[in-house]
Amino acid sequence: MTATLQNNVRLRIFLIVVLSIVIRIVRTHASTSVHKSSGILEANYFLYGFVLLCSLLPFKPGWVAAFLVQGIALLLDVLALGLAFIATWRCKEQVGCMQTLPASLIVLAFVGVVTILDSLQTWSIYFILKGPIIITSVTQRIRILFAWALPFAYLINITMILNSTWTVWVTPHLVGDTLIIVMANAGENVLLAIVMITMVALDAFALLLVDNSLVSKAILAQIALTTGGILLLYATRGGKEELKLQELKFVNSESRVEPEPSKLHKRIKSKKLQF
């Protein structure tokens, strides 16, 4: 159950980030007040990244930190939703705002959905903290990280192609992320480390060449996720036997449920003790 909740948290982060990108696009057509109030949600990109990285840490304090950061994200959602609602309510009484009212309502609706999802997210992390922490294998965590990084690569390349500013320096993740996802369990840690370090260096160089704010933030996200992958890869230094043991524990924790002793068994056991 806890492993399912952990996966739901990671998948929900992806959905929230997609909705946040939609809000960023639509709010350019909304009123000035709604545009400014919904801009508060841009700070959540960094918070969601932090929650994702914390969810991959193999100890409980990581989830405690994720719970606190997710609570901050929820407070920002409520603040943005309240300000956007007040701005839209005031705008409906002004003639000049009627042109931007449809876009403002769409932004308000999406902000409301994000707030609901963040509330579910906070509740799920709370339940994870109440139950036993199930640690996934290192290879699975690396795959999760680079499955997250791959959409940013497509976002960067598509955005730069549409803006006619494409450069070859933003393409390594299209190949590198896929390669790491496929070879994460192959035991080629040296090769994977070289690929990751090379991609971080190329990302840092590409960051100097772009002037689009969306692309810059996506490249920073790539750098953060790839650096997290390097740290997780370093955690496999214990050897393949330790890795297999972690994976075996993960499978057993998901598939095996210890049956509770029946009342008759408890009664017989207590009588034996009395005798």
Tens of pLDDT, residue by residue over 7-38, are 788 788 888 888 888 888 888 888 888 888 88
pLDDT at residue 258, as a whole number: 46
Residues 6+ apart with CB under 8 A from 221: 45, 49, 149, 152
Amino acid, single-letter form, for residue 212: N
**DSSP string across 232-265:** HHHGGGG-HHHHHHHHHHHHHHHH--PPPPPHHH
Average pLDDT over residues 194-214: 89
Share of the chain above pLDDT 90, in %: 15
Question: Residue 251: what pLDDT?
Answer: 47
Residue 119 is predicted with a pLDDT of 93
Q: What is the pTM of this model?
A: 0.65
Query: Average per-residue pLDDT in the chain?
Result: 79
Q: Which residue has better confidence, 31 or 1?
A: 31
pLDDT at residue 247 is higher than 80: no
Annotate 111-136 with DSSP letters as a single string: HHHHHHHHHHHHHHHHHHHHSPPPPP
Q: What is the dihedral of CA 82, 152, 30, 44, to 10 degrees?
A: 20
Give DSSP secondary structure letters for 207-237: HTT---HHHHHHHHHHHHHHHHHHHHHHGGG
Instruction: State the Cα–Cα distance between residues 24 and 29, nearest whole angstrom.
Output: 10
- SS3 assignment, position 17: helix
- Highest mean predicted confidence (pLDDT) among 91-100, 131-140, 209-218: 209-218
Count of other CB atoms within 10 angstroms of residue 255: 7
Cβ–Cβ < 8 Å for 219, 170? yes
Highest mean pLDDT out of 64-68, 212-216, 241-245:
64-68
Look at phi and psi of residue 198 and say left if phi exceeds 0, alpha if psi is from -120 to 50, else beta: alpha
Give residue 200's pLDDT. Answer: 92
Higher-confidence residue of 199 and 90: namely: 199
Assign 79 a pLDDT band (cuts: 50, 70, 90): very high
pLDDT of residue 116 exceeding 90? yes
Cα distance between residue 151 and residue 129, in whole Å: 29
**Rounded-to-integer distance, Cα 90 and Cα 95, Å:** 11
Q: How many CB atoms lie within 10 A of CB 6?
A: 21
How large is the average pLDDT for residues 68-74? 92
Residues 6 or more apart whose Cβ sits within 8 Å of residue 14: 148, 151
pLDDT at 227: 87
d(CA 17, CA 266): 51
User: 131 or 176: which carries more pLDDT confidence?
Assistant: 176
Contact (CB, 8 A) for 121 and 16: yes
